[in-house]
């Protein structure tokens, strides 16, 4: 018997860009993304979950051998060459929660300065890898 689609928290507005990450263990990824990173599960279907965190929308899909959209071999760490900047309401609270859980930090919390022309923008940020190695940069 196939599990049904399950809606948990409705989406009121769809984001224009929504990353869909292939994951090796959907249950493990869902635990990390919800319990530690603070995402909400909006809906699920077998092998798939749609998540959100504020205005951020995110999809996780269980890796299936021979999937039609697989462009090449999937080897850890996945997502090499990309990092996702994710603005969160309280970056310090998230950082503290990850430290308390013993979650590995890839780049510790720092204040980064980025230039836009002559204008300096500062943000507090840290980086972690999710269970499949995708690089996530959480900012304030």
- State how far the Cα of 80 lies from the Cα of 39, in Å rounded to an integer: 23
Paired residues of 126 in beta bridges: 138
The yes-or-no verdict on residue 2 having pLDDT over 50 is no
Q: Which residue has the higher pLDDT, 8 or 68?
A: 68
pTM (2 d.p.):
0.88
Across the chain, where does the E strand assignment appear? 6-7, 20-23, 40-45, 48-53, 56-62, 83-87, 107-116, 119-129, 135-139
CATH numbers and ranges of domains, the chain: 6-65+79-139 (3.10.180.10)
- Classify residue 29 as exposed, middle or buried by CB count within 10 Å of its CB (0-12, 13-18, 19+): buried
The yes-or-no verdict on residue 65 having pLDDT over 90 is no
- State how far the Cα of 72 lies from the Cα of 57, in Å rounded to an integer: 25
């Amino acid at each position: 018997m196939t599990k049904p689609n399950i809606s948990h928290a409705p989406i009121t507005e769809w984001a224009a860009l929504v990353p869909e990450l292939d994951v090796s263990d959907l249950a493990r990824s869902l635990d990390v993304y919800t319990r530690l990173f603070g995402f909400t599960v909006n809906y699920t279907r077998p092998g798939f979950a749609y998540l959100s965190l504020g205005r951020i929308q995110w999809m996780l899909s269980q890796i299936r051998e021979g999937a039609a959209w697989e462009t090449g071999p999937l080897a850890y760490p996945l997502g090499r060459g990309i990092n996702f900047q994710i603005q969160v309401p309280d970056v310090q609270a998230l950082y503290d929660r990850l430290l308390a859980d013993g979650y590995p930090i890839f780049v510790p919390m720092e204040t980064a300065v980025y230039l836009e022309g002559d204008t300096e923008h500062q943000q507090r940020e840290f980086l972690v890898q999710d269970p499949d190695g995708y690089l996530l940069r959480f900012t304030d």
